[in-house]
Structure 1
Amino acid sequence: MHGRPRMEEALDVLHAELEVERAAKAELTTRAAWRAFIRFAWRRFATAPTPDSDGLLLQYGTYAFSGRPMFTVDLTRQFDISDDGGEHDHYVQIHCELRYECEPALDALESFNSWFFHDSGEDLDKWLAAMEGHLDPLLARVPSEIDVYDDPV
C-alpha cells in the first residue's frame, strides 16, 4: 500500500474532487458530483488486500431521513476497519448524498442499490458505466441539497 493515501484521508479527497467540479460550474449538477465520485472511486487507499476491504455503493430511493420525504442518491465508499489482530472491527462509510424534491418522475425510479468491491476481480469501468445508466435521468438535475460526511457502521 506504499504511496496510497490513508483511509482517514478519504473524506478530504472526496471534498477536493467535488471542489474541482464546483469551481468549474455555478451549480453542482448530479453529473458533476458523479464525475467527482468516479475519480474518487478510482483512487486507491491503504486498505487490507482483501476483497471486501474497499467497497463502492450506489443507492437511491425516496426516504425521509431529514424529516420530509426526498429522493436521495447516496454515493458511498466503505472501508473495512480491522482491530490490532487483523479481525474485522467495523466499517467506515464516506457518503455523498444528493437530495431532490419528490416528483412523479423520480418516484417512478423507485429504489436501487449496487455494490462494487476493489480487489474482487470485477471490472470497475463496467460497474461505473452501468451505474451511470441508472443515474441517467438525474444527470442534468441540480440537487436541492448535498451532504458529504463519514459514518462508522
Structure 2
Amino acid sequence: MLISETKLLLTSMLDLAGVRPGEVSAADVLTTVEVFRRFATIPVDDAVSPAEDGDGVLAQTGTFDFDGVREFCADLTRQFIEADDQDVIWQPRCTLHWTPSAETEALGSKVLWSFGMPLDDLFAEALALPGWAWALAGVHAPRHLTIDLDQI
C-alpha cells in the first residue's frame, strides 16, 4: 500500500465493518477503534519504517475548536514520513465528534503516541485514557465521524 491509498483503504475497511463517515452510533465507536487497529498494522511501502519513527499511531481526546466549532473529539491518527522526502509528513485519521458538555470538559485532553512501544501496548494505554474510556462506554453517540488524509 502507498501513503496516497491510505484514506481510501481506511474508508473501505470501515465501510465493510458497517461504519460510514457522517452520522454514527455509540456502538460504532468500538468498531472504529477495532478497524483502525487493523489498519495500523498494514505496511506502507513509501514511508520510512516504524523502527525509524516513520510510521506511528497517535491516540488523542479532548475538547477542541479546530474548525470554529467547539467539540469533544476522540481521534486515531496514523502518521507517515515519506521515504523519498523526509520533510513530508502525512496523517490519515478517524475523528469522532461529540457536542461538548461539562462531563467531557472534565475529561481534559490526552495525547499518546506509539513511538517506542508496540501497537498492542499503545491501544491498551490509549483506550484506558479518560476520554477514550468515556467514548467507548457506549452511552453517548457521536455527532459524526470524519476520515481525513492531511499533509502537514
Q: Could you state the TM-score of these two structures normalised by the residue count of structure 1?
A: 0.83
Q: Distance in 2 between matches of 1:109 and 1:10?
A: 31
Q: 1:136 aligns with which of 129, 133, 137?
A: 133
Same amino acid, percent of matched pairs: 28
2:78 is the alignment partner of 1:77: yes
* Structural mapping, 1:47-126, within 5 Å: 47-49=47-49, 50-83=51-84, 88-117=86-115, 120=116, 122-126=117-121
Structure 1 residue ranges without an equivalent (≥5): none
Select the structure of larger CA radius of gyration. Answer: 1
Q: Distance in 1 between matches of 2:87 and 2:67?
A: 28
Query: What SS does the aligned partner of 1:125 have?
Result: helix
Q: Larger % of strand: which?
A: 1
Following superposition, which runs of at least 4 residues in structure 1 exceed 6 angstroms of deviation? none
Count of equivalent residues: 141
CA distances 1:48-93 after superposition (whole Å, capped 9, x unpaired): 335211011011111112222100122101100144xxx5221011
Superposition CA RMSD, Å: 1.8
Query: What SS does the aligned partner of 1:95 have?
Result: strand
Q: Distance in 2 between matches of 1:61 and 1:127?
A: 18
Q: Which residue matches 2:14?
A: 18
Q: Distance in 1 between matches of 2:149 and 2:123?
A: 22
The offset of 1:127, in angstroms, is 1.2
The offset of 1:152, in angstroms, is 0.5
Q: Distance in 1 between matches of 2:75 and 2:60?
A: 5
Q: Distance in 1 between matches of 2:57 and 2:36?
A: 10
Letter in 1 for 2:8: D
Q: Could you state the TM-score of these two structures normalised by the residue count of structure 2?
A: 0.83
Contact persistence 1:72–1:98 (CA under 8 A):
yes
Contact persistence 1:17–1:39 (CA under 8 A):
no
Letter in 1 for 2:5: E
Q: Which residue matches 1:43?
A: 42
Structure 2 residue ranges without an equivalent (≥5): none
